[in-house]
Amino acid sequence: MPRIAKSVRITGRVQGVFFRAWTAEQARELGVTGWVRNCPDESVQAHLEGDDASVEALITLLHRGPPSAKVEQIQVDEAELTNADGFEVRH
């Protein structure tokens, strides 16, 4: 299956609510690779790579987020494949 890459920025109450760890867990379960990190503007940014169905499934989950998060907006853009190996939480 061809791989795609997406850059995602999530805003709302998404820092301090285990959003990054939750995202990494969901990504690993779906076979999505890439990374997730907190941004200085209190948003969360992620780079997602995988087959279209898996990446889209993760983006759907990101709209909800973990139980204590309150997602207000998600911006999704096309990205370049980096052939990421695994999924990491960046600091």
> Which residues are catalytically annotated?
20, 38
Q: Tens of pLDDT along 23-60?
A: 999 999 999 999 999 999 999 999 999 999 999 999 99
Tokens of 85: 């190996």
Q: Tens of pLDDT along 7-27?
A: 999 999 999 999 999 999 999
In order of their start, the domains of the chain are 3-77 (3.30.70.100)
Question: Which of 59-68's residues contact partners 24+ apart within 8 Å by CB, and which partners?
Answer: 59/6, 59/8, 61/26, 62/8, 62/10, 62/23, 65/10, 65/12, 65/14, 65/17, 65/19, 65/22, 66/17, 66/18, 66/19, 66/22, 68/13, 68/17, 68/18
